[in-house]
Amino acid sequence: MSSDKVFAGSVPKLYEEVLVPLIFEPYAKDLAQRLAPRAPRRVLEIAAGTGAVTRKLAAILSPAASIVATDLNQGMLDIASQVGTLRPVEWRQADAMQLPFDDGSFDAVVCQFGAMFFPDKAKAFAEARRVLQPGGVLLFNVWDRIEENEFANEILKALAEVFPQDPPRFMARTPHGYHDVAAVARDLREGGFAAAPEIATVTARSRAATPMIVATAYCQGTPWRNEIEARDASRLMEATQSAERAIARRFGPGPVDGKIQAHVIMVEY
């Protein structure tokens, strides 16, 4: 669905303030630590969002390394630039399906939880390969199936109760819809990567002080909000409160702690 790619309005701010610490921080650190030993000199980040990975890269890579961070949604980049990084980064609006860079411009392309949103994965991977120089690396991650991600799965079920005739399925359909690593490997081959990818499944913990923080993050800080409001904009808070109750039933009313799981893929060109 086209609305799955729209991170606009109040979504970018909530995404950065609530969702990034909830689920993205541990994987941002993981990607940066995996890339650092390669000592890249020119790094391109695609689907950078509000800069969770960008900030980690700016902190851990050599000061001599240049970083260009791109995203399809200018609103996400606006928040990223406002939050800032420890050293200069070039923020640039760009579509991963048609990157505005010359062939061989970078020795590393990084993408955190963006591949699931690409309408043609093989084409996006081909673009990443095109802008890589020989010997460069594509490093990215994708969420595992939603059943392995406890908060998202509970909220999926809660929203199905609020809208039983037409359940909002954004999280299952898109963020958690590209979990088949065999399909990922196939798309990489079709995108021109001849080397076998290295794939690791990484489990982490998602923690929040209250169930409402989790509910707000998912229902209002992601395109799930677009789906809810498309059904009935007046029911956004009702849907959020239903999600809050579902999280509280499963994890308790106080600080909550749930499993999250993703696949991390690295492939050389």
Mean pLDDT of 84-99: 96
Which pLDDT band holds residue 7 (cuts at 50, 70, 90)?
A: low
Q: What is the pLDDT of residue 9?
A: 67
pLDDT band at 84 (very low <50, low <70, confident <90, very high): very high
Mean pLDDT of 216-224: 93
Share of the chain above pLDDT 70, in %: 96
pLDDT tens-digit readout, 231-252: 999 999 999 999 999 999 999 9
> Looking at residues 127-150, what average pLDDT do you find?
98
The CATH T-level fold of domain 2-268 is Rossmann fold (3.40.50)
- Read off the pLDDT of each residue in 142-166 and give the average, rounded to a whole number: 98
pLDDT for 4 beyond 90:
no
Whole-angstrom distance, CA of residue 139 vs CA of residue 36: 11
Looking at residues 10-36, what average pLDDT do you find?
93
**Mean pLDDT across the chain, nearest whole number?**
95
User: 11: pLDDT confidence band, cut at 50, 70 and 90?
Assistant: confident
Give the confidence band of 13 by pLDDT, cuts at 50, 70, 90: confident
Judge whether residue 259 has pLDDT over 70. yes
Residue with tokens 């509970």: 154
* pLDDT score, position 12: 83
What number is the average pLDDT over the span 95-104?
97
What does the pLDDT read at residue 6? 54
Hey, how many other C-beta atoms are within 10 angstroms of the C-beta on 201? 12
Answer yes or no: is pLDDT of 10 > 90.
no
Q: Quick check: 5 pLDDT over 90?
A: no
C-beta separation of 159 from 244 below 8 A: no
> How sure is the predictor about 8, in pLDDT bands with cuts at 50, 70 and 90?
low
- Hunting for tokens 């409402």 — which residue is that? 212
Task: Write down the pLDDT at residue 1.
Answer: 61
